[in-house]
Amino acid sequence: MSNQPLVEVENLNVDFPLGRSLLGKPPMLRAVNDVSLKIMPQTFFGLVGESGSGKTTLGRAMLRAAPITSGTISFNHGNTKYDVGAMSKMELKEYRKKAQLIFQDPYAALNPRMTVRDIIAEPLEVMELVQTREEADQKVREIASKCRLNLEHLRRFPHAFSGGQRQRISIARTLVCSPNFVVADESVAALDVSIQADILNLLKSLQNNLGLTFLFISHDLSVVAHICDTVAVMYLGTIVESAPTRSLFTQPKHPYTKALLSAIPTLNPEDRGKAQKLEGEIPSPVNPPSGCRFHTRCPVAEDRCRKEVPQWRESSPGHSVACHLVG
Amino acid sequence: MSLLSVENLEVLFNTDDGVITAVDKIGFELEEGEVLGLVGESGSGKSVTAKSLMQLNPLNTFYGKNSSIRLKLGVGELDVLRLKSSKELVVVRGGAISMIFQEPMASFAPAITIGSQMVEQLMIHTSLSRSAAQELSIEMLQRVGISEADKRFHQYAFELSGGMRQRAMIAMALSTKPKILIADEPTTALDVTIQAQVLDLMKDLIQEFGMAILFITHDLGVIAQVADRVAVMYLGRIVESGPVKQVLHSPAHPYTRSLLNSLPKLDALDEPLTPIPGDIPSPLERPPGCVFHTRCPEAIAGKCSSEIPISVNVEPGHQSACFLNESPVEKTA
């Protein structure tokens, strides 16, 4: 059972139209390009990359909040199986109870005119998971205490809370319908470091206690390194490397992963100037480079990289990479 | 005397909810060619401190009576806080001190080309002719690594990428040859690979132009990579300051220690993250005594909540404001 992935993505493409055209189809922007991945149940799957790499779009596609152009996303939980790309309206309604999203900005995500109790209870009412108000109250209290919110907080409005508390409210709202799969999109990016550690610890303990599976999207590699079991690195819509966290951070194989790791400023002043510098910026996805998409910035690119798209293959058990130069 | 010396700086805001203390009697000095990092979480007062140096705070701001910000100019000196009109402040704003902001998209005027904005400020602060100002601007754009600078000169901010905009911002700030550059979270909105490029560029420019930089950030990693000295702020006070190596390797204040412990580190993946308990208090409810005592794991009951600790030297040049530092025996590693 546990060998079966909870979410399996195969050859996924997501396109967005660029403006409109009167005649024929408008040009398309490929935000996610031929992505395949497996997320095992009850794990933290990390997705890292710079802005514009398509990590948010990939996360949203898994929740069917972004258009799926081709490829499949399957969700398998016990006896329930969904083909996320081809769900009926009724199935989608059921799927929403199982797959949820935590937003980035806890200041924008909460309605200022609703009390915390109403904010957390809203999904229950919308999804018709409860019959009576008492039942809703009961569930709200349960999840609030799991997310370390006081019961007296439930009567207040969001403005009375700090960033960390708001993110806990936002997490409680996400988890109140008991989902199996949660997409956390930059959920700690807007928080101060002293609060960030608290939310990360909370997510980890909730995952253990409730048996959740997380897709954790972040641009911050050190955060991902601490919380995730498996990490995939995205660049310009494609996954360039994926491995168990320890393996990825101790033995990065793709030149992009290496550069990304060395660009993180370390706390040691003696490390100055040791960072391996990447030249240039991420190219526009409207007109992606030929061959390997990273070749324009790659320090070790060869002729072949400019022409051939590198194959996605397993270079050591569990550690997959898409680069011509990795043996 | 140092290039800049701030003494007893107290910044208060008049609001509907009462008077808010944003900066509480802090002092620091900045020497020529030095990079001073100012680090703290949101609400710690680091941006307000920086803006005070140019009197850029909003109109409801007032400064404490004994506050002074003395700036060395040539042979003389002036107190920024004594300048009244914006005419007098021109000497400081964009003249002796330039500033780059976190979000370069928001700091460039969207409907005016990058070039005309650069020329405009050069016309105000220097005696250059328009054509000479244009030449210098294009030269500066080249200097910060913008390719096709004469083309970029005629473009608008939205046509540039984030990293390029920040480079243009730096070029603009440096073209008047300020004595001090204030960089307020200059790389926070950038991706790590671009951040590394911009930080590198700034280090080169410090050497070339020999100016002093006040570098504001919440990221201790960035501080470790660029700053010579660092001052750690919490709720409007500087709790610890000193050479960057000493502060990061042997932090003396419990807040600095807690901050370092709460950071996820790549070379210690198995270590648990230790959050600082509780939340940052609202500036309306500043705790009495030591401002950090409500969250401090080492607070001394009865003492920290009533008395304000004064800054003491823990090492030469390394100060910390904590009662634990006064009796080294109690100091925990």
pLDDT at A2: 57
pLDDT of residue A107: 86
Q: Please tell me whether residue A24 adopts helix, strand or coil conformation.
A: coil
pLDDT recorded at residue A239: 95
Nearest residue in B to A50, CA atom: B191
Nearest Cα to Cα of residue A123 among A138, A140, A109, A147: A140
A221 falls within a domain: yes
The whole-angstrom distance between A70's CA and the closest CA on chain B is 30
Distance between CA A291 and CA B52 in Å, rounded? Answer: 52
Residue A191 lies inside a defined structural domain of this protein: yes
First to last CA, chain B: 35
Q: Is the pLDDT of residue B305 over 80?
A: yes
Q: Which residues contact B11 (CB under 8 A, 6 or more apart)?
A: B21, B22, B23, B45, B48, B49, B52, B57, B61, B62, B63, B64, B67, B236
Q: Can you tell me whether residue B333 is helix, strand or coil? A: coil
> What sections of chain B are H helices per DSSP?
46-52, 86-89, 104-107, 114-125, 130-143, 149-152, 162-174, 192-209, 220-226, 244-249, 254-262
Residue type, A261: L
- Position A36 in a domain: yes
Check residue B73 and report its DSSP letter: E
Stretch B96-106: mean pLDDT: 85
Q: Which two tokens stand for residue A149?
A: 């919110």
Q: Which of residues 247-306 of A touch B (CB under 8 A)?
A: 249, 259-261, 263-272, 275, 277-279, 281-282
Query: Residue B39 is inside which H or E element, if any?
Result: strand B35-39
Task: Give the model's pLDDT for residue B331.
Answer: 43
Across the interface, do A263 and B269 touch by the CB < 8 Å criterion?
no
Interface of B with A in 22-81 (CB under 8 A): 41-42
Q: Which of A51, A159, A191, A192 to mutate to test the interface with B (most CBs of B within 10 A)?
A: A192
Residue pair B321/B238 in contact (Cβ under 8 Å)? The answer is yes
A70 domain-assigned: yes
Instruction: Tell me: pLDDT of B314 over 70.
Output: yes
pLDDT at A79: 82
Q: What's the rounded mean pLDDT across residues B272-301?
A: 88
Domain definitions of chain B by residue range = 105-177, 248-330
**Alpha-carbon separation of residue A51 from A43, A187, B160, B161, B194 (angstroms):** 24, 15, 15, 11, 11
pLDDT of residue A68: 93
User: Measured between beta carbons, which residues in chain A are less than 8 angstroms from residue B194?
Assistant: 50, 281
Buried b vs exposed e over B28-41: b needs ≥16 C-beta within 10 Å? bbbeeebbbbbbbb
User: Measured between alpha carbons, how far is B75 from A146 in angstroms, rounded to an integer?
Assistant: 64
Pairing of strands B76-79, B68-73: antiparallel
Chain A contact probe: residue of B185, B273, B280, B294 with most A CBs at under 10 A: B273
Q: Which class for A47: exposed (0-12), middle (13-18), buried (19 or more C-beta within 10 A)?
A: buried
Q: Is B192 on the interface with A (CB under 8 A)?
A: yes
- Is residue B193's pLDDT more than 90? no
Q: Which of B323, B308, B153, B306 is nearest to B253 (CA)?
A: B323
A vs B, Cβ pairs < 8 A, gives 122
B280 shares contact with chain A (CB less than 8 Å): yes
Looking up tokens 């990579």 gives B225
**Most B-contacting residue of A167, A267, A279, A298 (CB-CB within 10 A), to test interface:** A267
Kindly report, residue by residue over B162-178, the tens digit of the pLDDT. 888 888 999 999 898 89
Helix (H) or strand (E) holding A94: helix A89-98
A148 touches chain B (CB under 8 A): no
A305 domain-assigned = yes
Alpha helices in A211-281 (DSSP H): 221-227, 245-250, 255-263
Average pLDDT, chain B: 89
Burial zone of A159 (CB within 10 Å; 0-12 exposed, 13-18 middle, 19+ buried): exposed
Best mutation target among B192, B204, B219, B296 (most A Cβ atoms within 10 Å) is B192
Average pLDDT over residues B99-128: 89
- Measured between CA atoms, the residue of chain A closest to residue B164 is A281
Q: What range defines the domain where residue A17 resides? A: 7-321
The Cα of B261 is separated from the nearest Cα of chain A by a number of Å equal to 9
Place of tokens 């001073």: B36
**B129 pLDDT band (50/70/90 cuts)?**
very high
- A177 part of a folded domain: yes
Which pLDDT score is estimated for A161?
87
Nearest residue on chain B to A166, judged by CA atoms? B279
- List all residues 6 or more positions away from A206 whose beta carbon is below 8 Å from its beta carbon: A146, A147, A171, A175, A212
Q: Which residues of B touch A249 (CB under 8 A)?
A: 266, 269
Q: How confident is the model at residue B266 (pLDDT cuts 50, 70, 90)?
A: confident
In a domain, A241, yes or no: yes
**Stretch B291-310: mean pLDDT:** 92
* Shortest Cα distance, chain A CAs vs residue B221, angstroms: 5
Find the farthest-apart pair of alpha carbons in chain A and give their distance in angstroms, rounded: 67
**Which pLDDT score, from 0 to 100, does residue B330 have?**
46
A244 or B190, greater pLDDT? A244
Q: What is the pLDDT of residue B327?
A: 64
A172, amino acid identity: A
Residues lower than pLDDT 70 in chain A? 1-2
Local structure of A45: helix, strand or coil: strand
**What SS3 string covers B236-302?**
CEEEEEEEHHHHHHCCCCHHHHHHHHHCCCCCCCCCCCCCCCCCCCCHHHCCCCCCCCCCCCCCCCC
CATH number of the domain bearing residue A233: 3.40.50.300
Residue A85 CA, distance from chain mean position: 18
**Structure confidence at residue A263 (pLDDT):** 87
In a domain, A89, yes or no: yes
Return the top range by mean pLDDT from A88-92, B73-77, B90-94: A88-92
Q: Of B101, B94, B106, B2, whose CA–CA distance to B47 is shortest?
A: B101
Torsion of Cα atoms, A104 then A107 then A112 then A117, to 10°: 60
Please give the tally of structural domains in chain A. Answer: 1
In B, minimum Cα distance to A278 occurs at: B193
